[in-house]
Chains A and B, each alone.
Chain A
Amino acid sequence: MFKERIRKIYSCRKALWDLARKQLKAKYAGSRLGLWWAVVAPLLLAASINFVFSAVFKVQMPNYTLFVLSGLIPWVFSSCALTECATSFLDNASLLKQATFPRELIPLSSVLANLLNFLIGLIFLLPVFIIFNPRVVLGILPLAAAIGLHFFFLAGLGLIFSVTTVFLRDLVHFLSVAFTAWFWVTPIFYSLDMLPDHLRVFAFLNPMTYFVVSYQDILFKADLPALRVLSVAAALSLAALALGYGVFLKEEAALLKRL
């Protein structure tokens, strides 16, 4: 049955693509900067972080802004994707009634839309990294792999969130708080090295760490991420996907009635 669903998703890939496109357009519809927000938003955020932590907390790291940026852009992608994904079923309830496509495409499209958003931002900011360290160019392929793994992780998580939200609207509020907290515990505005040893363990318990570290390695250090990190990330993606899909399939029937 699993295979059948995959097949169906494949046959409806145009619908998925259109849904993602639609969401992306709708996100920026009516705004002046439009898609440029994908670039501007992380930049602004990075600048503010830079100000606070360099000037106020006096963090000593060369090219701190770039470091922050490398981890921040994927973070923005993750948090946006998951937040939008959570409410995707609720927002698109009317579309479900017309659905000739598999329903999991709805949360998937949310993640996909944000992926596109992320990629657009990346395209403009990548040159910055390259200018700083030309060796980054070699890391394009690993970058693509990292993005892929990241996407599947988010997809799986997104499925879980979206299904849960239908039954428990509270999740949305919880998530808004949770992401803020999650931001602090993920090594985005500080590097792993900066953590004291005994606390470093906790960082490794955070699944997001693995992904963020991968990006930082590729973009900032111009290095391949450690095999350990990558393998854990891959395992996490697979687990998330499997779990997410399983939850979805189980609750699909009840889900439809709730909407």
Chain B
Amino acid sequence: MSIIELDHVWEKYRIKFVSRGRVDWEEVWALKDISLKVGRGEVLGVIGHNGAGKSTLLKLVSGMLMADKGEVKVSGKVSVLMELGAGFNPEFTGRENIRLNASMYGLEGQILERQIEKVIDFADLGKFIDAPIKYYSQGMYTRLAFALAIFVEPDILLIDDILAVGDEEARRKCVQKVFELKNAGKTIILASHDMELVHKLCDRAILLEAGQILKEGLPEEVTSAYFETIGKKSGIAVLQKDKLRAVFNNGRVSLSYDGLPLTRGFGANVPFFVPRIDAWSSSSNLDWQVKSFSSDRIDAEGRDLEGKIIQVWTMGLSDTGLEWQVEIRDKNCLRPHIDLFFNRLYAHWETVTGRQDFLPFSYKDKWQQLDDGNIRGDCIGLTSTENDSGLAGVLLTKKTDESCFRVFNTGYEEESRVIQLHFGRTDSANLSFRFFEDKEALTLLFEEARNNFLSATKNKRREKLIECAIDLGDTRLLADTEEKAVKLYFRDLELTRHSGLHTSICVDDAWYDHSSAERKFRKEGDALLLEFFWPDFGLSQEWRLYFREGLLCWDVAYSNSRPQKIQALKFGLLLNPKYRRFFCGWQQESFPPYSENWRDIALFVPGAPLFGLRKEDALPAIAIENASGDDCVIQNSDRLSGCRVLQLSLPESKIREEKFSFNMKIGFPEEETMLCRYLDEEKRKIDLEKYSIISGDTRVFADPEQKAVRIYYKDNEVTRPSGGLHTTFPLRDANWQLERRSEKEIVLNLYYEAPSWLSQVLTLTLTQEDHLAVKCEINNKEPLRLDNRAFRLELKDRYQYWSTADERGDFSLNQYVQEISPVRLKKNKVPQVILESKKEDKNNIGRLLFAADTDPHRWSLGMFKGKDGQEEYICLNLSRNSTKSEALISPGSHTYFQGRIMLGESVEAGRSVSAADTSVLERKSLRLCFAEGTGRIFWKGAELTESLGLYSSVRSAGIWLDSAQAVWSQEKRGENRITCRGEWPCVPIAQAWQIELIDETTLSWEIVLEVYEEALLEIKQANLMLSNKYKKWAVTGLNQGEFCDEYTRDYDILPFRFWYGPGDTLEAGADSLPRIIFRNTSGEKALKAVVENTDYLYEARLLQYQKADNLKMRPGRYPYFKGLIKVEPKS
């Protein structure tokens, strides 16, 4: 049942023509006698030139126009997408426009509200829905207008090519919605210029031309008929014979048989590469002129913009089918090839070697190559499956040997099968088409062709075999005069590719091989004698190939009458791309993927005595002996040639000579083990020689392959396999340059790619037995900001105990939290740590010492155990405390770490670390020791404080930084006063402290905060850490209590807190110690008083004043804290 019916409809316009004052009214018939029916749920496409009558047709269906003659019957609600935004007022907002125009579009009643929501949703304008639409972009406008028209929920939707307007996003959405409507069973008429959309969306299509329906039918048919009509008329010609129809249209050819289009889209064209603009162009871009045209022949010329003839095409009908010849006239067209786009319904392609199926389309736009790059024979046949409606089979035959076929799938956007014919070296290509309605006939033809081909090749081979081949066991060497190649076979598998054994000569920056030489091949007894002569260069080579002792010997006698010209000379083999791995000396790798050009592979040992390819499936390994130490060359060819290359490149010295001889021995070791053993052996030797230093029981190995430094003690690896020593910039990321200065010293130069002006030098010296000195240096050409200078040692988990100058610990007690188990040190400003091995490893590993040798007070030790999958490891990290101002390094060379690693049983602390700078204030019984940001208080010799004592802490960006971590410098020291200044690492602040002994029981403490750069300081504290002998606490005038003896285990969770609130005097009392009072005299109300226990590490009491104001502070000086510490002795 059709819901749209046009019955002999005629429509005319009266148009006023005004010219030179004269006004003429003329009647123009826009539609002439149009009859068509559209059923419910059908999608009809209307295509045609501009002015063909598409819009008029749609207007008639929508009721906008009334037919002059004939009848238009439409049943159902119609929504028209012809002019977007009809009725929109730019002053009103999107929402208002929707509301105001909704009823005019046909939205009413109950569904109005719901649909309006849907419209706003679809338009996806965010808050812009409430902005006047005069501010909208084109895409936004399109989406809104489209949404409104669509959500009317029409039965019939008329679309007049408005889907071309708007941005990509808008268009995609609209098209998707249209598809949804189609699936929902709506009837759609689409007038469009987008052929792909018509193909995908429409069930049927009509072609309108000058008001009449030219063609009606399936979209593919109609669009291909359309193609015939577009383009410059003088470049279009049609050949028709019986059922075959070939249309040439301005550089494109489309074929149809029996009304069915065989080609897709625009048919076939000839693309070529233009080096001048470094881009691809096509025959369709040229300006075509059909020079001569008869019923069975077309001659056409294509010119470029300047009028130069680029391509000449000739198409002719023959008895059997179609002949097509393309000639390239312009030398600047490189790599021309014919691209034939065939209907996607073609399912199989066959050549003389066999029949294959076209794979389904997998990529969106990318082309997929389906052949293996080596199509034999000179014809290809295409057939569709049995079920498909009579798509004729096609047989393509190429006439020249030079050209070669390729088979592709396009992406599924284009959905075509592509047969490509490359011209090869010639300027022209000749293709003939034969069409088969009967698929059987085509198959039979191929059977025959196949047989012929096989027998022909067999004959050829037989000839060659007799003529020019030598064998040894399963290996055969064949010199093929015809194909100008010297090929190697192993059990009938071709090992070589293209020219096989070859020579490459570089003269005047251009490379030549033996294909440009005069050749003479002959067999002499058990050897092949090949003579080559290059007349251009006066070079001659005489090759003698024979088998001896299981190896193929290649002797070359070379004579050169003009030595100066030759720049490089190589001999080698082009080999089967199935080989995946190569080796050179001890280097073993896989070939990288092919690229656009021939690529050399980087070889570590260019003069290796043995190199070649490793075994791959049925292909044997190939090994070339390089007795004379010439340069080995291993290459990947470009994508087109697809092969591997092994060559020996002769040194300049030899090339200069007039005459010389050269020989190469090629072996085919079948036994993998032998080759493997050889390779491992080589590697070990090299490792030991080049990259290790040994002293005593210790061996240090710098592994360039893994890019790691590894330490071995008594041949047991102490460091982590993935790398033991780590500098500030990772070793892994750098380009290594190793220098083994002596048996005891290795220097590693590390160059980085980003930044390129940065490099490091790592010097490893075994100064004594089992004593490794390490020095790290940075070379920077530009100023560098280095906040963190660290040296890290990663070791295997064979150590159990650790000890620093102040503490000891046991790794096995550590617990893991997310793969890391840190060791907390009370005092981490130590430059040295000693590790002791586990009991079972005592004899194997012994002990290890890791220390920094310079500035002992500026290093912080970090230790943790880590877990990486199953592997557990120990990490020792020495990092330098630098202040913000020290972080900037000017260009130059800068040693940032100098230290040592000692191994063995007898490792001891050795040098003792001198005490840090301490200042002491003393009067009678009271003594204060200030060192490195901590202040310890003593009364009559007994310490009242614990660990850190008097210290301040700051929290910024979630990280706590104590005054103990800062870098302190004393500025002044008086009898009763200490003035010092500490610069914080990581945060751009410093604190100036003044501690003064006021009387024999009282100390005053004043802190001023200096901020250099804007910093966010979340919490600021001034603390007094007291010994846990203190049992009672009090906040004068507010509260008091007793300390409990529990300390939290987890670092980050609040410790046991007894007071948090106002208060300006805190007290603590103990039985054996005097009472101590900590008072806040700054008068700042924002400072809160805190009384708490520390965590398990210190097990001490904490009296604290805290300000948690989360303040972003500007540079400047700010008062931080002012307080008094008073000791009240027991009376």
Residues of A within 8 A of B (CB): 12, 14-15, 17-19, 21-22, 25-26, 29-30, 92, 94-101, 252-253, 256-257
Contact = CB atoms under 8 A, between A and B. Distances in A.
Contact of A100 (B13, B66, B78, B89): B78
B78 A25 contact: no
Given A15-B103, A256-B65, A257-B13, A92 B89 contact: no
A98 B80 contact: yes
B1086 interface: no
A94 B91 contact: no
A17 B152 CA distance: 19
A100 B77 contact: yes
Contact of B87 (A12, A21, A95): A95
B104 A252 contact: no
B149 interface: yes
B102 interface: yes
A22 B101 contact: yes
20 contacts: A12-B103, A14-B108, A15-B108, A18-B102, A25-B92, A26-B92, A29-B91, A30-B91, A96-B64, A96-B86, A97-B83, A98-B105, A100-B77, A100-B78, A100-B104, A101-B106, A252-B66, A253-B65, A257-B13, A257-B65
B1041 interface: no
A99 B77 CA distance: 11
Given A29-B91, A257-B65, A97 B86 contact: yes
B935 interface: no
- Most chain-B CB neighbours within 10 Å: which of A17, A19, A98, A252? A98
Given A94-B86, A97-B64, 9 more contacts: A17-B103, A18-B100, A18-B102, A95-B87, A96-B64, A97-B80, A97-B82, A100-B78, A100-B152
Interface residues of B, number: 31
Interface of B: 13-14, 59, 62-66, 68, 77-80, 82-83, 85-87, 89, 91-92, 100-106, 108, 149, 152
A96 B59 CA distance: 11
A212 B92 CA distance: 36
Residue of A18, A97, A253 with highest tally of chain B CB at under 10 A: A97
Given A97-B86, A100-B106, A26 B66 contact: no
B751 to A, nearest CB: 67
Given A100-B78, A256-B66, A94 B83 contact: yes
B64 A99 contact: yes
Nearest to A106: B104
Nearest to A255: B66
Pick the 8 closest A-B CB pairs, nearest first.
A100-B106, A98-B86, A94-B86, A253-B66, A95-B87, A15-B103, A29-B91, A22-B100
Contacts of A253: 65-66, 68
Contacts of A25: 92, 100
Contacts of B85: 94
Nearest to B87: A95
B83 A18 contact: no
Nearest to B106: A100
A257 B103 CA distance: 24
Given A14-B108, A15-B104, A22 B89 contact: yes
Contacts of B149: 98
Contacts of B78: 100
Q: Which of A14, A100, A256 has the most CB of B within 10 A?
A: A100
Chain A CB within 10 Å — which of B59, B64, B79 has the most?
A: B64
A112 B77 CA distance: 27
B635 to A, nearest CB: 67
A17 B92 CA distance: 18
A97 B101 CA distance: 13
Contacts of A92: 87
Given A253-B66, A256-B65, A257-B13, A98 B89 contact: no
Given A97-B83, A257-B14, A26 B65 contact: no
Given A22-B100, A252-B66, A256-B66, A100 B105 contact: yes
A92 B108 CA distance: 20
Taking each of B62, B104, B152, which has the highest tally of chain A beta carbons within 10 Å of its own beta carbon? B104
Contacts of B152: 100
Which one of A17, A29, A99, A253 has the highest number of Cβ atoms from chain B below 10 Å of its Cβ?
A99
Nearest to B148: A98
B293 to A, nearest CB: 42
B100 A256 contact: no
A66 to B, nearest CB: 36
Contacts of B66: 252-253, 256
A95 B104 contact: yes
B89 A26 contact: yes
Contact of A19 (B65, B79, B104, B106): B104
Contacts of B89: 22, 26, 29
Nearest to B112: A14
A100 B65 CA distance: 13
Contact of B92 (A29, A95, A256): A29
